[in-house]
Amino acid sequence: MADGIYRFPEGFLWGTATAAHHVEGHMNNSWSHWEAMETGAVFKKQKNGRACEWWDGRWVEDFDRMQYLGHNTHRLSVEWSRIQPEPDKIDESALQKYREMLEGLQKRGMRPMVTLHHFTNPMWLENEGGWLANSTVDRFIKFTEMVVDALGDLNDFWCTFNEPMVYAVQAYLVAMFYPGKRNPFKMYRCAELMLRAHAGAYQIIKSRYPNALVGVAKHLLKIDPLPPKIVNGLPIKLVESVFHRAFIEAMVTGELRLPLRKTVVIPNLAGTYDYAGLNFYQRYRGGFAPLSPKTFFLKQVPDDESPPSPPMWGEIYPQGTFERINYIWNVMRKPIYITETGTPDEGDNVRPWYIARMVHSVWQAINFNVPVRGIYYWTLLDNFEWTAGYNPQFRFGLYATNFETQERTIRQSGEFFREISLANGLSSEMVRKYVPQLEEKLFPGSHGQREVKLPSRG
Ligand code: BGC
């Protein structure tokens, strides 16, 4: 019996994404500081601790796992506080370790993508004023220079900032990340400084390696207002313009436009991206909830079909990937990488469904001629999850991690994503095997096809 397949273009990148604070362990940065603070807002006051022990060398076995998954890429981040533990000190051994990791990826046939900033800062930087101090822009550019000079021969794919607006909001508007401020103008300032830092970092990387690809990973929610639009539509527009549009539009035009603030022109910013990175996870359908800062001031009314999601996560809505890809494409008009996408699901009841719908949604975009070039699944293995710490409700891995023994066990969804990666496509056979309830939706008629019986000759 023939199988249907949603085939992806040749050379499509399949991989997972991780970041230093999630997996390395033994951290001494703004986040470990936050974990130790009374106001630190982490689930059960948990500490990052050993995390997944990558810094102790366990990355080797985990890179083997990525290879087993048939991946040709992996996105990881380098930790600023390790590389520059003090303002005037560079730790060459940390850079050396990252070199080994990048070589480890290449040896296993995976193209690395390196993120320079994924939510953490050295404490000395925070003490200088963090992302509110002008000097941080220069600090970040110098840090970039250091990293690119040390690793640039092994990596040509850079993400300067992971989710800059999420960081700005969490750190300066809703007090969920260090330094725990609640001031919209501080949030604006943080976003502006990150844009300035990005522009400088872009120039540095390109001056050394003109062919390198540089961009940011932009987090987008899907937001669908419910009636009455007059009440819900307008506030949602505000959320859209501040959280979604402002940062990426500034990368296009060089001008940062935010409500209640004069337009800021940022020199050398316009056009500083070779690709658009999209992190997409969830939808909020409903209305404005002025008393719910932790859900981006959005109330959640999920669709009947949507699976249950942990508190404050929003609605698990992988079908929305297509629309969000189109959104970022319309603003940025450069090749797109899904730099993160995934779902929390310890029991692995929802993840196979999520993967099938997400992959199908990306395929749809490609078939509308949007140049999507790769998918980085969040994430390889269960790890430390910011304010959720090690809360079992927030397990994102294709592999389950036992944090006592450091044992990893592949989930069904890991096997499923592996088959997709190896086949460079999503087939009806895979869907039948891992998410039979979706077969008729994704491959309509395939049941019928199986039932066709040709009359026997004679
Ligand atoms: C972040 C990751 C995080 C993931 C799941 C993204 O917003 O970049 O660091 O773990 O979401 O919450």
- 166 CA distance to ligand 1 middle (Å): 9
- The answer to whether 375 and 338 are in contact (CB under 8 A) is yes
What DSSP string runs through 336-401?
EEEEEE----TT-SSHHHHHHHHHHHHHHHHTTT--EEEEEES-SB----GGGTT-GGG---SEEE
Provide the β-strand partners of residue 316. Answer: 282
288-318 pLDDT, tens digit each = 787 877 666 777 788 888 999 998 898 999 9
The 3-state DSSP class for residue 112 equals strand
Contact between 251 and 272 under an 8 Å Cβ cutoff? The reply is yes
Determine if ligand 1 sits within 6 Å of the CB of residue 383.
Answer: no
The arithmetic mean of pLDDT across residues 11-27, rounded, is 99
Residue 301 or 386, more confident: 386
Contact between residue 385 and residue 394 where contact means Cβ atoms under 8 Å apart? yes
pLDDT in tens, 327-339: 999 999 999 999 9
246, 247, 248, 252 alpha-carbon torsion, rounded to 10°: 90
* Average pLDDT of the residues of the chain: 95
Query: Is the C-beta atom of 385 inside 6 A of ligand 1?
Result: yes
One-letter amino acid of 384: F
Q: What is the CA angle 305-311-316, rounded to 5?
A: 35
Ligand 1 pocket check for 77: Cβ under 6 Å: no
Ligand 1 centroid from CA 273, angstroms: 22
Mean pLDDT value across residues 345-372: 98
3-state secondary structure of 301: coil
Q: Given this model, what pLDDT does residue 84 score?
A: 98
Cβ(282)–Cβ(301) under 8 Å? no
According to the model, what pLDDT value does residue 25 have?
98
pLDDT in tens, 209-235: 999 999 999 999 998 888 888 878 877
Return the percentage of the chain with pLDDT > 90, whole number.
86
Res 450: pLDDT? 63
1: pLDDT strictly greater than 60: no
The minimum-distance atom of ligand 1 relative to the CA of 281 is 11
**Candidate from 18, 381, 386 with most ligand 1 atoms within 8 A of CB, to mutate:** 386
Ligand 1: residue of 27, 174, 176, 340 to mutate (most ligand atoms within 8 A of CB) is 340
Q: Cα of 450 to ligand 1 centre, how many Å?
A: 41
Task: Provide the pLDDT confidence category of residue 130 given band limits of 50, 70 and 90.
Answer: very high
pLDDT at site 305: 82
22, pLDDT greater than 90: yes
Q: Are 377 and 417 in contact (CB under 8 A)?
A: yes
Give the mean model confidence (pLDDT) for residues 232-245: 86
373 CA to middle of ligand 1, Å?
A: 21
What is the value of pTM for the model shown?
0.96
What pLDDT band is residue 445 in, cutting at 50, 70 and 90?
confident
Does the beta carbon of 166 sit less than 6 angstroms from any atom of ligand 1? Answer: yes
Q: What is the distance between the alpha carbons of residues 177 and 386, in angstroms, rounded to a whole number?
A: 8
pLDDT value at residue 230: 80
CA 260 to chain centre: 29
For the CA of 342, the nearest atom of ligand 1? 5
Query: 438 C-alpha to center of ligand 1: Å?
Result: 27
Q: What is the CA(79)–ligand 1 centre distance, in A?
A: 16
Does ligand 1 lie within 6 Å of residue 279's CB atom?
Answer: yes
Backbone dihedral angles phi then psi of residue 288, each to the nearest 5 degrees: -75, 135
CB atoms within 10 A of CB 207: 10
At residue 296, the pLDDT reads 64
Alpha helices, DSSP H only, in 87-183? 92-107, 123-127, 134-151, 164-172
Backbone angles phi, psi at 435, to 5 degrees: -140, 65
Q: Is residue 2 very low, low, confident or very high in pLDDT (cuts 50, 70, 90)?
A: low
Does the N-terminal peptide bond of residue 379 adopt cis geometry, omega within 30 degrees of 0? yes
Between CA 360 and CA 425 the distance in angstroms is 9
Assess whether the C-beta atom of 439 lies below 6 angstroms from ligand 1.
no
Q: Indicate whether residue 309 lines ligand 1 (CB < 6 A).
A: no
Report the residue among 16, 18, 76, 378 best suited for mutation to probe ligand 1: largest number of ligand atoms under 8 A from its CB: 378
Question: Where residue 448 falls among pLDDT bands split at 50, 70, 90?
Answer: low
Flag whether pLDDT at 455 surpasses 80.
no
Residue 378 beta carbon below 6 angstroms from any ligand 1 atom? yes
pLDDT for residue 287 is more than 80: no
Ligand 1 within 6 A of CB of 219: yes
Q: Is the CB of 79 under 6 A from ligand 1?
A: no
Distance CA 187, CA 117 (A): 17
**345 Cβ inside 6 Å of ligand 1:** no
250 confidence band (pLDDT: 50, 70, 90): very high
Closest by CA position to 425, among listed 360, 353, 336, 345? 360
Reported as a single tens digit per residue, the pLDDT across 258-284 is 999 999 999 999 999 999 999 999 998
Which pLDDT does position 451 carry in this prediction?
62
Alpha carbon distance 154, 147 (integer Å) = 11
State the distance from the centre of ligand 1 to the C-alpha of 61, rounded, in angstroms. 23
Q: Are 414 and 85 in contact (CB under 8 A)?
A: no
